[in-house]
Structure 1
Amino acid sequence: MAAAQSAGGSLVYLAGSENSALNRRMRSLLDDALGSTTVIRSFQPGQTSQDATTPVIALGPEAFTRVRQENRNVPILALLVDQTFIDGYAERSGGSVSGILYDPPLLRQALAGKVILPQATRVAMLARPDTVELYEPLTEKLPDHGLEGKIFVVTSDDRLIPTLIRALNYGDFILAAPDNNIYNPRTIKHILLTAYRRNRIVIGPSQPYVRAGSLASTYTPLTEIADLAADFIEQYRAGGQFPPPAYPDNFSIQLNLQVARSLNIPLPDRQEIVRSVEQRLAGPRESADE
């Protein structure tokens, strides 16, 4: 690990995204989280031929791929990535690859929907044939929380709205995963308007979709991501391995108040929603009995 030292202390490299403002923000947060004993340097192309042992923090899947393609042996901690993206790399890496997960866990999203709509008992989910597996683990967990779920498979682009209508007739709300084949800038307006006209809400898949018209989505603040990244770097230095990819424990929720007013849905305070979801995650059976 000698290569991971510099004159100013321990060293990490930062491979940025294409978003310069995000890069500046994350670097500032990582500086605070890692402390004065760690020096952060920008990752440069060709760098791993000179130093393949110093950990690299990669912001997003593109940055991760860029570093990984250059040298498959360099230790990489990926931030702002989804579980489906990083898990395979981490499982095959022997502890040299890990990630701080950014996509909201689907159970957490479903429970946020349950807190917002306490009378809800059914959750509808849309998937393509090759993304059904995104939801399958969730459907097994929902009954512990007083919910049941059903996946509606969209077999082609022209079947999206007809399948959505069937899903809306079944579910008390639509739970959206980060599936770009279903939820993307081309489709989201049609999905949200169809749901709105049937007095149904969409939960997720992320903050930008709440601004577009989804009612709510949980999310992880960047400060929490930076803090957990610092813990992972410390564990790597101590033992030469990263922990498996993980979500930060703390989260927040974004709400679309205009959509809630339009549908006459009284919203609890944001912190009350977060607290209630945390309680349900900690004790599903107790929460289901409330």
Structure 2
Amino acid sequence: MSIILRVFALLLLLFSTKGWAVIYLVHDTEESAARALSFQLSRQLPVDTKVTPVRRTAYIQNIAQIEKDDIIVPIGVDSFRDVCMVTSQGVVMALFVGKEEYENIQARCSVSTSAVFSGAPLEKRLVLLQAVWLDRKPLAVLHSDTLLLDEQGMTSKAAEYGFKLLFFPTPVDRLSVLKSVNFVLEDASMIMALVDTQLYQQGIAQDILRLLFHKRQVIIGPSLPFVRAGSLFAIYSDTEAKLATLVNHLTLWQKQGVFHEARYPDKLRVSFNPYLIKSHSVVLPSASYLKEQYGLCSDIDCR
């Protein structure tokens, strides 16, 4: 065989071998933040994997370039919603979305989808609340219409830990939300906040926390920023844990063709607001007890 034929055969072999598809990170954030996230993800994947950050509007405009083996990773619920509206090829693995947000959109998505959820499972939050909070008055779940709630399942789960859930849908303009907060606290001891991007927009979330502070009422937050701004505690995962779970999803799909179901990361953290813990005379478990009994990594001692 001539040298030319041998080279041609080698090239044909290389191009016919299936490699990693392109991974598109669809975002609507600062370019620097998107590039940093892409770099973090790339470091955990095989060297021949191409991770491409693309702004949401650019993705929609160039949707025809998406191929069936491509993987789309929408960052946040708005990107996930738009990706599902236009994507007809590839697979979608959403990041930085809440479980109830994801389930509301996933039902209308025409391609295979999975996700790494933000926040924490309801039972994780309830079992910890049961250990540190003696008041068994009902818990209010304030929510927008962008969530798909299994009220019956959530109610049954809460009853296992001695709690009752009250569900309150609300419009998401500032005045309506604050009116709703005043109303729900007449019957509930605290608010159990879900990951609800449309409801807990930055300015509104801060107004809610200020109102609760003046009323000496509390909220269980879905993320660390809530704790820093005034929620009693939050169970959540950091970006590193989310990316590690996403890598497992990607690897399983690429190597075995198995699509992992949407789930929370295995490694969850818990953070408490020290001022509220003290003012409400809450006795906290030790960091070792949190780890052994609840599988939670305390921010005080998290390795």
Pairwise same-fold verdict (TM > 0.5): yes
Q: Secondary structure at the match of 2:79?
A: helix
Shift in Å, 1:140:
0.5
> Partner residue of 1:71?
87
> Partner residue of 1:163?
183
Shift in Å, 1:245:
1.3
Cα distance change of structure 1 residues 246 and 51 upon mapping to structure 2, 3 Å threshold: same
Shift in Å, 1:134:
3.2
Q: Is the 8 A contact 2:93 2:115 kept in 1?
A: yes
Q: Given the alignment, which residue of 116, 119, 128 partners 1:112?
A: 128
2:139 aligned with 1:124, yes or no?
yes
> Partner residue of 1:34?
45
Q: Distance in 1 between matches of 2:113 and 2:199?
A: 29
Shift in Å, 1:251:
0.5
Q: Given the alignment, which residue of 16, 21, 35 partners 1:11?
A: 21
Which amino acid in 1 is paired with 2:37?
M
Shift in Å, 1:159:
4.0
| Number of residue pairs matched by the alignment | 271
Which amino acid in 1 is paired with 2:243?
A
Q: 1:163-182 alignment to 2 at 5 Å?
A: 163-167=183-187, 170-171=188-189, 173-179=190-196
Q: 1:1-290 alignment to 2 at 5 Å?
A: 9-17=19-27, 18-43=29-54, 45=59, 46=62, 48-49=64-65, 51-87=67-103, 90=106, 96-117=112-133, 119-127=134-142, 134=149, 136=151, 137-145=153-161, 147-151=162-166, 153=168, 157=176, 159-167=179-187, 170-171=188-189, 173-179=190-196, 183-189=200-206, 191-196=208-213, 199-270=216-287, 272-278=289-295
Shift in Å, 1:120:
4.1
Q: Distance in 2 between matches of 1:85 and 1:154?
A: 14
Q: Distance in 1 between matches of 2:216 and 2:197?
A: 24
Q: Is the 8 A contact 1:153 1:163 kept in 2?
A: no
In structure 2, the gaps of 5 or more residues are 1-14, 297-303
Q: Distance in 1 between matches of 2:144 and 2:239?
A: 33
C-alpha distance after superposition, 1:32-52 (max 9, x if no partner): 322334332344642643634
Q: Distance in 2 between matches of 1:263 and 1:95?
A: 48
Cα distance change of structure 1 residues 87 and 189 upon mapping to structure 2, 3 Å threshold: closer
Q: Distance in 2 between matches of 1:94 and 1:240?
A: 18
Cα distance change of structure 1 residues 133 and 235 upon mapping to structure 2, 3 Å threshold: closer
C-alpha distance after superposition, 1:167-192 (max 9, x if no partner): 3xx43x43222346764445545544
Q: Distance in 2 between matches of 1:102 and 1:180?
A: 11
| Greater Rg over alpha carbons, structure | 2
Moved over 6 A (4+): 5-8
Which amino acid in 2 is paired with 1:164?
V
Cα distance change of structure 1 residues 100 and 256 upon mapping to structure 2, 3 Å threshold: same
Cα distance change of structure 1 residues 241 and 97 upon mapping to structure 2, 3 Å threshold: farther
* Range that drifts further, 127-136 or 56-65: 127-136
CA RMSD of aligned residues (A): 3.6
Which amino acid in 2 is paired with 1:115?
A
Q: Is the 8 A contact 1:204 1:214 kept in 2?
A: yes
Cα distance change of structure 1 residues 73 and 254 upon mapping to structure 2, 3 Å threshold: same
* Range that drifts further, 231-240 or 157-166: 157-166
Q: Is the 8 A contact 1:216 1:253 kept in 2?
A: yes
Cα distance change of structure 1 residues 197 and 61 upon mapping to structure 2, 3 Å threshold: closer
TM-score calculated relative to the size of structure 1: 0.75
Q: Which has the bigger relative contact order, CA under 8 A and spacing at least 6?
A: 1
C-alpha distance after superposition, 1:195-237 (max 9, x if no partner): 4455543211332221211111111121221111112112222
Cα distance change of structure 1 residues 276 and 102 upon mapping to structure 2, 3 Å threshold: same
Q: Is the 8 A contact 1:87 1:245 kept in 2?
A: no
Which amino acid in 1 is paired with 2:50?
V
Shift in Å, 1:13:
1.9
Cα distance change of structure 1 residues 76 and 207 upon mapping to structure 2, 3 Å threshold: same
